[in-house]
Structure formats: C-alpha cells, structure tokens
Structure 1
C-alpha cells in the first residue's frame, strides 16, 4: 500500500563527523609547503571563492584545500583596511598551476564547472576533478537539497557558516574580498573540509549500486567538461534584429471596450476569463491575450538577451545546471535559452536571431518523438514497437488502431485526437485531462482511452506495473538506473498523491530521454575534440542539440552527429534524429 512506500534512502549520520583544523596561508614558503603536501595525497577537497555571480567575469578571491587532518585557505584578493599581506595572485597561481592542471592530481569539488570557470578566467585549465559532491547528492537523493550547508547538516551533522552570515544580506552585503581573512578562513576552510568529508560518505554509496555508479561515472561526471566548453563558447545573436523586435512588441493599441466584470477597486477586469468572453465579439481582447504572451517574450528575451551579451566575447553565455530538474533534464539560466516558444511566430522570430558567424552555419539535431519511442521500449507493446520499427507515422497508426480504420483513411482530426492521447498518456493524463485538452466530454475521452489500451495492452500493463512498483519502492528508474524518489506517493492529500502517480508514469520516459541526450552530448563533444573539428556544441534544448559548424565541415558533421546520436544506446525501437542546417536557429530546426 501507499503508506508502506519508503520516503527515501536513509541519510542521517551515525555520528557527527570530525572536523579538520583550519589555517590561513599568507606566505610563499607556506604555500610551497602546501603544494608538496597536496601532490603527495590521493585526493584533495577544492573550493574556489570568486568575486561575482557571472562565471565568465568572476575573479578569484581565494582558494581552500582540504587534505589529511587540515584545511587551508589561501587568500588572494582580500582588500580592506588592515588586510594582511597576501601571496600575490601571479606567484600563487604559478606555484599551484602544475598541480591544478595535472589530471593525475585528483580533486573533489562542490561545483567543478564553476571552479573551472573561475580558474579559466585566470588562464588555468583545471584537470583531475574526479568527483563533485553536488552531483553525488543529485544522483543519490534527487528530491533533496544539494547545496553544501544542507548536505553538511544531513550527512555530517554539521551546522555550517552560511554565505549570508559571512557577507551579510541585502543592501548591507559586502563583497567576499572585503571579508576579514580570519573569518574567510573559517568559511572557506569549512567549505573544503565539508566537500572532502561528504565525498567520503556519498561516493561509497554510489559505488555500491551498479546503476547509480553508471549514471554518476558515465553520464553526469563526463558531462561537466562538455557543459563548461558550451558555456565558455557561448551563442552568437543578432543584437540589432532583437532590439527591433523589442520595439515592435512594445507597440500596444488602446480601444474602448465594454465592461464585463470589475476588480475590487471598481476598475474594468482584464483577467483571462473576461478577455476570453470579450474576444467572442471584439478582436482586441484576443490580441490582448496574445499580447500578454508576447510581452513575456519581450521582457524575457528581446529586452534581456541584448543586455546579456558579454562585451569581451560578443556572445550570450547561459549557465546549464545539472542538478535542478528531478527528472535528470538540464536547466538553462541567466539567460534561459530552453523556453523560447517554437510554435508561435514571435517565438520563431526570436530563434531567428540566434545566428552563426560568417563562414559557418547553425545545425540543429533533434531526437524525433523520443519519449514515445522510450514508451514503446519500456512497455514492450508489440503494436507500438512495430509502428516505430516500420517507420510509420505513430499518431496516424494510433488513430487507425483507436478508430478502427486503415492508415490511408485516417483524417486530420482523428490524427489530432490520437496525438493528444499518445502524449497525454505518457504524461499520466486522465480521461478528464484528455477531455479538457480535446474539448470533448469525459465519456467520449474515456472511450478513446479504453480503445487505446485495448489496442496497446503493453502500455496499460506498463503503467499499472510502474504505479505498483513506485508505491512499493518509493521511486522509479530510467533505463539507465537514474532514480526519481517520489515521497508524495504516501501523501494523505489525494491531489498530491495523484500528481506523484502521474510523475511515476512520465519520469522514466523524460528521465531516459535526458540520459540519452546527455550521452549524445558526451559522444558528439568527444568526437569533435578528437577529430580536430572546428565545429562547436553551443546549446542543448531538451531533445535537441545545436551546433555552430564551419561551412566546409557541414556535410561531415551532419552525418557523424546523426550517427552518434542514433547509436548512443540501443533501444527496442530505432532512435531517429532529424538534422537541419541554416544561417539561423529558426531555419535550422
């Protein structure tokens, strides 16, 4: 029963983990001594402290290292009245660079990608980061918080100094470079100490589970340098075209309209229901509803993207988070490049502003109907598998099955209904959801679903079995063994429990799709590096990879990328990749 489902893996520490002693390194001789020590130990906890949130503009303020029974803090750019003399940045980096750049000098970080950005800004190419605590936590306990303070409390029994405690809050916040060195040593030393202590707890638990070890060692860790390269390369956008679109979206006409409903203050209401009612008789309310969507595009993209251009590179540099989405998907932030609409003309115009430099093209490589293919694989349903193996239009094939007509006799409305059912069911949608989506009554929707399950019995078996196993285990898995814990499966609130059951159906499909695209990114990036190609991966948008490819390499890269993506893992149905090439992203997709 639901109540018996485990909440999550046990995380409470048996006893409080002993802390290391912390000290400050202020002289060159002390630093030389530390370098000798870190070269001799098997693993070092590394924490880099920076000056800004933007990874490409941040500068090093200091660096903490944990090894043996101590953690040391090397301040490099603390500036305040009475600040002690520090080892000059150039001297310190000259001494540390060989160790930092050696792959056989093993390090564990909290966010190896961010540390790599910080060091790259100073001309150091960080190597040997063989572990990352934030990714370890993400793989082991995806539903939990992954920041260091939460991990320290959960696994070490430590209450740690927070960033706010050290730098202040709001208008009174000071730069880390203005923090007293002794206080900074407490904070940074604790960071490095915590990283090493957490790794010693989390990594053995991953290693003990073959599936989790695969996700950690073969998917998540190898992805870090791929994302680092993508973020540093950035994306070229047409600033003038975007700014012109912003001005165009900013023009709003006003027109006198009747009042359908008033707000509490007596003003005419412009909520969605009122506007929808007005739209039946007046053209403008429909335009206002559209305008609200357009104004969001304006504020989020056409206004913001030109301001996001890095003046040093002339490009936009997003940050990809590996540890945000519980399904394993990547998230894009500052700016978010994954939510630009593809089905609206305005969204496509924004996509057309993502361009290639002279002498190159934009290439889009997109997995076709990936989640439906994964559904066919996971469910084992022979009718679904046959449709994909025979290269049929799966929505047309589903319509033929549900409505009992030949493929050639399926009309566009039947195909539309079948498409809603196909996608609705893999998202755990009920007859109510299907009815709402199609604008039909619930009884008719239920009839369609029953016909679907009668023709695709494997899909019904898979969904029932997945719900049962999720309740029993408390989690679901992707094809590769990534775990999504669903604590809400034992919720006393029906709405929450039903949402968790829907997630249990969809998460294995969305999560497997995320795993596949990550493996594809690793394969494509690896081939580009090994082959000496000048093509670059520049974006990932869920099931799509976007590349910048020199004109002379287009044919070679197109074929090789398709091959690599389609062969990244063998499912019971073929993976199909559509590749488009053009001067901008919109035309390429």
Structure 2
C-alpha cells in the first residue's frame, strides 16, 4: 500500500498580524520596517522545526490573502468594512513576508479575488479527494467547517486543524465542543451569530450559544428559519422572522469556496528539505543575525532534513535534572516603561481595541481599590499587544474628596462598552496573570470574558514544586518576571508608598499609574510567549487544556455565588466559645498555680518546663521553649492534664477567631453572603485551597465543627446539597497499583476498611476496622513505622509488623510505592493519570529529613493529584450538564477536598441529584478509564451539616 500523503496548509495571513503585534518596530540595514517579517520568520521556523520533530508533513504550502477585496465584496459591499487599514509600517512588509516564505523554499500561494480561506478550502478538498490527510495550521473558526474525514484509497482521508497558539489539534470533537454542532453545520451557526470583525450581519441579538442551540435543535439554518413562525411569541421569534434575509446573506458570506482553480498543483508542494543558501541570503540581507547564527549551528545535522536547528545530544546528567527541558526565552527587547501609552480619549481606546481584534491575542490586567474582588471598585484596565506595546486606560482616578480635581479620562460606562465586545470576542484570546481575579472584577462590571489564558496557571502546570534554586518557587507575576525575564517589576509601594504616607492607587498620577499598570500587561504578554510553548514541549498541554484552564471561569463563578451564613447562629456560637475558653483558662491557671497568658508560647513554655518541671522541653534559637501541638500532645499522652486543657483552649480559640467571629465580619454587605477565595496554585498536587475565609479546615467529624457547618444555610425556599466522593484516594490507589482484591471489593460495593481488616487481622471488629482504616490511609502517605506507631499507639516494631503484613496482603501497593519512588528519583517529578507533574528537587538530597519528606510526598502526589484532577473535571462539566437538563437554578457554591456543595430549589433535588452523581462518577472519562467505580454520596438539608 502506498504511503498516505499528508498536506499542511499554513494560514499565513493570520501569522502576519500575530507577528506584527508580537515584536516592537524593527528596521533592516536599509531602514525598511521588518518587525513583522522577523516575527513571521521565527514563527514559520518554529512551525517547520516542530513538524520535523513530530509527524512531519509530506507536502506543505503557505496561503496568503492577495489583497483586502474578494468576490464577497461584490455580493455585500460592507463585507469587512469595519476592519482598520493596515498600519503604515506594516504595508511595506507584505512583499518581504512573501520573500521570507520563499526563502524557506516553501510555496507561497495567493490569488486575486479570493481569500486565503477559500484557497485553503479548495486545496484541502482536492487533497482529500486524492486520499491525502490534511492539516490546516490556523485557529480561524471559519475553517472549522472543513474538519472531518472521508474514505480514501489508503484509509480515512482526514482534515484537521493545528492551533499553534494553543499547541492544540482540532478534530471533530473539538469543533462540536466549541459550536455544539458537527463541522458541516458550523456555517449555519456562523450565519446566525454573525461576525462583527468581518461585518457579517447575522441576526441581531443572537449570540453563539443561542445560534448553536437553534441549529442543533432544528438541524439546519433553513429549518430553524422555517420553524420561526411556529415558535411561541418571544423576542427570539421576532428576530428570526425579521432577520431571515440577513441570515441567508450571512450564510452565503461564511460559505467557503471549495472549487477554486488551483494556482499550483498539489505535487508542487512536496517537501524536500530546506536548502540553507536562500534562507541564509534572506537572513543576512535583513540583518537577522541571531537567526543566521542558529542556521549556521544547524548545518550538518545528518538526520534532520530541514537542518533548521542543531541537535542537542542528551547526556546522562540531563535525565531527570531539576530543570528538565526548559526552553530559552524568545528574543525580546528590554522593558521600556516610557513606551507605554495613557489612553484618555475614546478615539485612542477604539484604536487599541481595533488592533487587539486584529491581533487576536491581548494581555489584560485590571487595577482596583482592593485585593477583594467582590468589594473592590475598578480603577483602570491595561492592555498589551507585544513587548513595550502596552497601554493603560484610567477609569476611576481622582481624589476621594468630591471637590478634588479628576484627571482627563474616559467615562467608565463608555469605556467598558467599547472594551466589552473585545473581551467577550471568541476570536480574541485574552491573556491574564491570575485571571480569576480579573474575571470576577469584570463580571461585576457586566463583562463575561472569554476565551482566556493564564500565565500563573501555565507556570504552575509546568513547575509545581520546582524552581531554579531547588527550594520551591511561587507563580506570582513578580517572581515569574524575575525568574524568566530577568526583570524587576515596579512594586505597589514604589507607586503608592507605605505606612501613613500610602495613597490609594486611584490617586496616583497617571504617568506613574501607566508605568505600573501597563507594565503588568506587558510582562504578562512576555511570560505567555515564553511559558505557553513549553506546555507542548514539556508535556503540560493535557493538564492545562483538559483540567486547569477550563476550571478558571468555573471557580470565579463559584466565588461570586458565595454562600449564606446565619449571622445569629454564629454570634451565639461565638458567645458559647468565649464562655468555654474562659472556663478552660481558669482551670489552666489553677493547674499552673498562677495566672498567665495562655496564648503566649513563651509564658506557657516557662510554666510547663521551668515551674511545673515537665521533661522534654527544648528551646529554639529564640531561647524560648517549643510548645507546638506535637509537644503538647506528647505531654498530654504522658498524663499532663494542663497540656490537654491548653490543646482544647487553642482549638476553641482558633475556631472562634477563624470562623465564628471572622465569618460574621466577612458577610458581603451587597450580597449578604460569604465569598471565599480559591487558589488554583495553592497546593503542589493540584488541589484547590481556600482563603478569606478558609472553608476547607472546618473540622468534619467533631461536634464543634458540625455546629459551625450548621451556620451555613440556603436562601428561603432552597436547600443545600453535598456530593462527596467516597474513599476516592483508596479507589485510585487500587487502580494505579492494580490491586485485584481491592478492585474486587470496590466493584462489589464492600466496606473497604472491613475488607482490609479481614485481610490484615482475620476478623472484623470495631477495633480492627478502625486500625485498618488508619493503615489504609497512612500507607498511601508513605508513613514510617514510627509515624504509624504514634497513630495506633503501639510500639514501632508492632507497627512495622503491620506494614509488612499489609504489603504481603496487597503486594501491588508496595510495588506501586517502589516504582513511584524509583521514577521520581530518576525524573525529578511525579505524574498523575492526567499528566500533572509535581516536582521534588530534594528527592535525592543527602539530608535524610529532606529526602524522606520528599519521598513521603512523592508516594501520595500521583494519587492525591489524580483525585484533584478528577473533581476539577467534574466541576468544569457540572453546570453545562445541569443547564442542558433545564436545571439552571442549581448553583455550585463550594469545593472542599472531595466534596461539592450546591444550592438549589427543593423541588429540583430529585432531578438534579442523578445528574450531579453521574457527572462526578464519570469525570475521569474519556481521558482515563478507571478499573474501579467512583462512588458518590449525596445528601441534602437545611444546612451544610444537615446535608451530610
């Protein structure tokens, strides 16, 4: 059977504008602008090199627009009338870009009166008819109409797409996920929704979701329009009837011409390598010295037909190195804050927005009055389209005094109305650093931003637990800028001052505010260019695209929802806790023989070890005794009643200050609810963490903890629903370690701790089941004989005997632990079933405590991380599933470890419960097929506690 040919068609027109906005203005030795040419050349170079390393094409061509006019302008003169003219310094670069393409010895195809999309469609269909596979290198939604496959002489002939911005392949499922319909119906959806960028009218008031729903329900545009008169009276009915002509015109405009005469035959696109001579001449002529050096370094690589990059020989020391295969920063100019623009007129704002639409990629940042996104006011917005190509749009600057002079700035409502279409445009990627915060700020101002990228999340998915110094490293913008760009950002105190002299950001002079705010967007843009390509190279794309990125808007929405708390109930609990802590304090003073401050570690240490003479006191560098929880627990176990009372006092005092007092103060005055903040990068294993307030540390099994949960309540007429994964980490351990006895027990619905007790001790009693439960979880956390001995209150030798017996009964667990440690020691990181990496730079440390701590964490990270990935996937799918079932009144409020908490009308419980259970139970699919079922327990009630 002949080899199946594979044609790559590069949408060169989209590359040009991305390249232009990617780099600052550059000129060649003759003074000709070449910034876009340089960017285009590097992008084409990278594409060729990536394809050479992966599944290389047999044929490749670059397709360009000849000019701005096409046959569509004859049909509809206003077609693309909204598009701004190309910038003056870009126009002379168009012919040079064609030269660049030919310097790579690649075909450069363009045709008068046809758009690049039409040529791509015609070549793609022609190749498919010949039985070839075709990949269209573009993210253009119009081209998604072509995706699909037909039977060919050498098997299925497929057309797919490659979005190089996201390093993502687009097949039929991706198209269906985006549009809700098959590729052949995408044109019908586009015709209904229209396109403001191309000035395709569509039907006014019908957006992407409504358009997708109509086409999916009726099967075609014509059917939907024909059915409109039969619909019940509504705005939608009126719009469909009145806008039929516009929709039918739009359908013609979005239809790709698939039968164009081919300017060059397909066979002329055959790849025979990239001869270095014409490319070297082109690079030298335009002064691209760094690329010329790279070309020289790549010459003579015998197994690289394209000879674009030198082959790096892997050495033994490279394997498992903490730095892995990090990539060098793309070449960029130094940060120049003087280049930033302060946008103070509507004309300049519209200019920036038009450029951002054309670029299809913009970094965005907001400036506000507070770190709390639920109470802050918007002060300004910054945008960046390239290095040093950034602006700041002040919106709320001026003194707090009503008579204070306000600087010239666009009225906020007017500016937001201009920004809204850009920030909500599906064709423009918005890049954020910690975008969850900005999404909430903008949502509170009526803007639902989509789609987004987030450099903080990308950094986390690449480098969780890893840093250049091997100690760790955060993912905040300032740290990432220092680490990756070698640039120190302006700090808030640099601009606003500190202490009594600190001023609000809204009072900062605009020149200084612009330097600070625009720099944030500029740095975010730069970080994205560095970090995003690493995902594909270092294997982080799957976890970012399938788990973490889809979760950002979901978590933002949950934060905005918040949860209601019963203020009166909390106040009563605070009083009770105050009374109880006072009683405990009195008893502690009696045992101490004097009054002292129980909350003072120094005074407590002096009482315990100097006055009362308890043994085991140890002083730290500060010269005072340690009185942490482990010390007090040890003393309590040895019969020191005062230590036991202090532990109780600390527990109650913490619950009072952290929850019953704090929650009252944290009730939002506008919503009447408490809004926690979730961190997507707070735990190295990928688990979400909760702060302000922390709702994940409320004791679960104690009576006091339940009392606090009783204060979390629904609105009148609603109930709370808690859905909890049952023993998910043990289930995952059974799957990942391939332990048949445990898998059988889970499949049969047995009590796993009773099964373990039977295997371990030969019988099930209250005591053996409790021990088995402790051992089940402790083993997965890599516990030592001494640690298990402490938990079970037995001798270390007896604990070791239990561990040995456990491994004899479940040898797969021991094998899993040994293989996990061996892998992490070799590679430097662990990996979940979904590809999440957690780095352990100290796994081979000579320091025993450091090494053993890393080993314990490494044993559990794949299991706990996979558990976190699964519940995240469930969260991302949950609301669409409920909305599809007509249950839009159900709201997802909280995620606490393995539990999701919802608020819903009581009458929706019966319908919602099986959907919630199904989404959670099937969350791993189709990416991972587990060999054990995921159990989900659901409860409802008039409080969070009652729902358990």
Q: Same fold (TM over 0.5)?
A: yes
Name the residue aligned to 1:216: 544
Name the residue aligned to 1:375: 733
Q: 1:485 to 1:344 in 2, by over 3 A?
A: same
Name the residue aligned to 2:943: 584
**Residues 111, 134 of structure 1: 8 Å contact kept:** yes
Q: Are 1:74 and 2:393 an aligned pair?
A: yes
**Residues 365, 546 of structure 1: 8 Å contact kept:** yes
Higher CA-based Rg: 2
**C-alpha separation in 2, matches of 1:207 and 1:326:** 20
Name the residue aligned to 1:436: 790
Query: Deviation at 1:393?
Result: 1.2
Superposition map of 1:341-360 within 5 A = 341-360=699-718
**Residues 4, 471 of structure 1: 8 Å contact kept:** no
**C-alpha separation in 2, matches of 1:496 and 1:169:** 38
Query: Deviation at 1:501?
Result: 0.4
**C-alpha separation in 1, matches of 2:689 and 2:515:** 32
**Residues 326, 534 of structure 2: 8 Å contact kept:** no
Encode CA deviations 1:535-580: one digit per residue, 9 max, x unaligned.
1001000100000011110011111111111111231111000101
Name the residue aligned to 2:479: 150
Q: Are 1:47 and 2:378 an aligned pair?
A: no
Taking only aligned residues, the RMSD between alpha carbons, in angstroms, comes to 2.5
Name the residue aligned to 2:455: 133
Name the residue aligned to 1:17: 332
Q: 1:262 to 1:190 in 2, by over 3 A?
A: closer
**Residues 678, 691 of structure 2: 8 Å contact kept:** yes
Q: 1:552 to 1:136 in 2, by over 3 A?
A: same
Query: Deviation at 1:293?
Result: 0.7
Compare 29-38 and 280-289 and name the one that shifted more. Answer: 280-289
Please, which runs of 5 or more residues in structure 1 have no aligned partner?
none
Compare 79-88 and 1-10 and name the one that shifted more. Answer: 1-10
Q: Are 1:309 and 2:624 an aligned pair?
A: no
Q: Are 1:474 and 2:823 an aligned pair?
A: no
What SS is found at the alignment partner of 1:309?
coil
Compare 427-436 and 289-298 and name the one that shifted more. Answer: 289-298
Superposition map of 1:116-127 within 5 A = 116-127=439-450
Name the residue aligned to 2:915: 560
**C-alpha separation in 2, matches of 1:586 and 1:504:** 34
Q: Are 1:97 and 2:420 an aligned pair?
A: yes
Name the residue aligned to 2:509: 180
What SS is found at the alignment partner of 2:946?
helix
Superposition map of 1:134-283 within 5 A = 134-143=456-465, 144-209=473-538, 212-251=540-579, 252-253=582-583, 254-255=586-587, 257-259=590-592, 263-264=605-606
**Residues 57, 121 of structure 1: 8 Å contact kept:** no
Q: 1:480 to 1:269 in 2, by over 3 A?
A: farther
What SS is found at the alignment partner of 2:340?
strand
Query: Deviation at 1:121?
Result: 2.4
Q: TM-score, normalised by structure 1?
A: 0.94
**C-alpha separation in 2, matches of 1:226 and 1:165:** 34
Q: Which of 803, 814, 825 is the matching residue for 1:449?
A: 803
Encode CA deviations 1:481-501: one digit per residue, 9 max, x unaligned.
100000111322110110000
Corresponding residue pairs, total:
583
**Residues 462, 538 of structure 2: 8 Å contact kept:** no
Q: Which of 535, 546, 550 is the matching residue for 2:890?
A: 535
Q: 1:300 to 1:6 in 2, by over 3 A?
A: same
Query: Deviation at 1:470?
Result: 0.4
Query: Deviation at 1:275?
Result: 9.0
Name the residue aligned to 1:387: 745
Encode CA deviations 1:365-403: one digit per residue, 9 max, x unaligned.
000001111111110122222221222211111111112
Name the residue aligned to 2:47: none
Encode CA deviations 1:271-327: one digit per residue, 9 max, x unaligned.
576798689889786444323211110110000101110011110011111011101
Q: 1:113 to 1:282 in 2, by over 3 A?
A: closer
Query: Deviation at 1:262?
Result: 7.8
Q: 1:532 to 1:169 in 2, by over 3 A?
A: farther
**C-alpha separation in 2, matches of 1:499 and 1:5:** 19
Superposition map of 1:466-545 within 5 A = 466-533=820-887, 534-545=889-900
**Residues 8, 141 of structure 1: 8 Å contact kept:** no
**Residues 830, 861 of structure 2: 8 Å contact kept:** yes
Q: 1:182 to 1:339 in 2, by over 3 A?
A: same
**Residues 262, 269 of structure 1: 8 Å contact kept:** no
Q: TM-score, normalised by structure 2?
A: 0.59
Q: Which of 279, 289, 295 is the matching residue for 2:653?
A: 295
**C-alpha separation in 1, matches of 2:574 and 2:592:** 30
**Residues 632, 647 of structure 2: 8 Å contact kept:** no
Compare 553-562 and 28-37 and name the one that shifted more. Answer: 28-37
Q: 1:285 to 1:159 in 2, by over 3 A?
A: closer
Query: Deviation at 1:441?
Result: 0.7
Q: Are 1:324 and 2:682 an aligned pair?
A: yes
Q: 1:353 to 1:89 in 2, by over 3 A?
A: same
Q: 1:157 to 1:450 in 2, by over 3 A?
A: same
**C-alpha separation in 2, matches of 1:50 and 1:151:** 22
Compare 482-491 and 150-159 and name the one that shifted more. Answer: 150-159
Q: Which of 101, 109, 115 is the matching residue for 2:432?
A: 109
**Residues 245, 302 of structure 1: 8 Å contact kept:** yes
Q: 1:68 to 1:503 in 2, by over 3 A?
A: closer
Encode CA deviations 1:401-426: one digit per residue, 9 max, x unaligned.
112x2xxx411111112111111100
Query: Deviation at 1:171?
Result: 3.6
What SS is found at the alignment partner of 1:539?
strand
